[in-house]
Chain A
Amino acid sequence: MSNSLITTKMINTAAKHIRRAPYQALTAVLIMTLTFFVATLLIVLAYSTSTLLKHYETSPQVIAYLKSNATTEQITTLQRSLESDTRVKKVSFVTREQAMEIYKQATAGNPLLSQYISPNVFPASLEFSIKNLNFAQGLIDEVTKELAIDEVAFTASLGSSQNLPKVVERLTRISNYIRIGGAASLSFLLLSSLLVLLVIIGMRISSRRDEIEILQLIGATPGFIRWPFILEGLFYSTAGALLGWILGFLAVLYASPALSSFFADIPFLPTDVPALLALLGIILGGELLLAIFLGAIGSLVAMKRYLKI
């Protein structure tokens, strides 16, 4: 018999098994759906927190305000020094006029606030971002000591330099909670799903013991007997993964406008549709692989336990 015929026959047998006990099949698929729905949400959440942390780590953060009497040479030397520093990226010099423009844009809703202010009120500054937030405190201390520097501050999103370690620590902690908590809940759900699969395939094997005995007697190979059960397990897990992913996808689509609005400029989720689809596509691919692994393991363990051939 050609392999394709074996496969078609075995798929038909597996489909017959599923049709014959629809409630067991439904239970298995629903449990798998729940698992993969939660998995999809947790992966998106882990991605988002990671993006959030990365955003804070890499967005422009430090503003070194220059003294009014700082010389061009001092400023140039400091700027070059920062540009050559491996911890630093995106160094830019902001003049008083540019600072004034930034202020005007920030207070555009209330023109009175900028109406009578001259550029002289604003100090010139050197703005730069840091490649890794862990370097921040040391770098700030170094820059503060420079003669040309009056004061060092952080962007509004992070508050003052005193808050920096706390913000980083809090974000790292939240990120870790999500990763560890997510991994723990996901493991629990995966284990439950595996057990449900194992019990259901085990029940299937028990209820078909006579059939298995007949097949053995007339010379069916172990593969001929086992494959329909393996295919059944794979069907439950992949169908569950697909449904769970679809529900997760819908939940993310539903929540993304509100999240985007809340996080404003921070790219909590990919902002353009192709990037979001790519992210969810990668999640689907990973989940399907996991589902195949789970289905195969569940079926094989059930067969090892209940099918002695």
Chain B
Amino acid sequence: MIKFENVSKKYGSNFAIEDVSFEIPEGEFVFLTGHSGAGKTTLIRLLLRDINPSCGQVLIEGRDIKTLKSREIPAYRRKLGVIFQDFKLLLDRTVYENVKLATEIDGRTTSEEEEKIKKALEGVDMLEKSNLFPRQLSGGEVQRAVIARVLVQEPKIILADEPTGNLDPVTARQIVGLLEDAVKEDKTTVLMATHNADIVDHLKHRVIHLESGKVASDDSKGKYITRFKT
């Protein structure tokens, strides 16, 4: 599903990421960890096709996304669900309108889609607050609304960049739980960049750990926790 082949990204003479290679199959939940400046966000931006690698290939379903033409990028991004630490909801639209936006830009406005929106809002326990504006919600509620928007998109891949960064531990676990449900129910691939050791510790998914732009480790369940604590 996602494949990095010797990918490097350079800004001037500095490498944001250097010679990164890994592969994530469909339906896997992967944590991307590392300290600030380790290259997590660069990696997410590469996957979003927001930037291009200086060298190497980023392959999604076997296609090098660098070869995407400008007009193909919106359609490509509609296959991705993106969640950020700073929420990214339109402040002048209600929760419902924000979620609906995902279907509008995709050209889907049937009554079936309306049902999907309601179902997604129900799934994140936000149906009752769907007529409220983002400023009227708590951080956890806003992030749940973002997840509802992502779920309505029915993405093949969810990219989450510190989605729990502004949330308390309990809410953070709820948010990650929603992402896990997406993996289980829809075989969605999730790549979640995080600093949150508790969550990584608790969920025991595959961890790709970055240090100074390089893959320091790509472990299976649990090993990260030990190293993180030492």
A219-B77 contact, Cβ under 8 Å, with A1-B109, A5-B109, A20-B92: yes
A156 within 8 A of B: no
A16 within 8 A of B: yes
Q: Chain A contacts of B61 at CB under 8 A?
A: none
**Contact segment of B82-90, B124-132, B182-190:** B82-90
**Contact segment of A114-122, A220-228, A278-286:** A220-228
Q: Chain A contacts of B75 at CB under 8 A?
A: 219
A217-B109 contact, Cβ under 8 Å, with A1-B104, A222-B74: no
Which residue of A210, A213, A215 is within 8 Å of B105 (Cβ)? A215
Q: Chain A contacts of B89 at CB under 8 A?
A: 214
Q: Say whether B109 contacts A220, CB under 8 Å.
A: no
Q: Which chain A residue shows the least CB distance to B86?
A: A210
B106 within 8 A of A: yes
Contact flags A111-154 to B (C-beta < 8 A → 1, else 0)? 00000000000000000000000000000000000000000000
B22 within 8 A of A: no
Shortest CB-to-CB span from A238 to chain B, Å, is 25
Q: Chain B contacts of A101 at CB under 8 A?
A: none
Which residue of A1, A6, A219 is within 8 Å of B76 (Cβ)? A219
Chain A positions 164-194 with a Cβ under 8 Å from a chain B Cβ: none
B175 within 8 A of A: no
Interface size on B, residues (CB 8 A): 23
Q: Chain B contacts of A222 at CB under 8 A?
A: 74
Shortest CB-to-CB span from A45 to chain B, Å, is 46
Q: Say whether B90 contacts A224, CB under 8 Å.
A: no
A55 within 8 A of B: no
In the complex, what distance in Å separates the CA atom of A224 from the CA atom of B90?
15
B78 within 8 A of A: yes
Q: Say whether B105 contacts A217, CB under 8 Å.
A: no
A16-B92 contact, Cβ under 8 Å, with A218-B153, A219-B75, A221-B74: yes
Q: Chain B contacts of A6 at CB under 8 A?
A: 107
In the complex, what distance in Å separates the CA atom of A217 from the CA atom of B89?
11
A211 within 8 A of B: yes
Question: Looking at B79, B88, B105, B107, which has the most chain A CB atoms within 10 Å of its CB?
Answer: B105
In the complex, what distance in Å separates the CA atom of A134 from the CA atom of B144?
83
Q: Say whether A218 contacts B149, CB under 8 Å.
A: yes
A217-B104 contact, Cβ under 8 Å, with A5-B109, A16-B92, A20-B92: no
Q: Say whether B92 contacts A219, CB under 8 Å.
A: no
A218-B109 contact, Cβ under 8 Å, with A16-B92, A20-B92, A211-B90: no
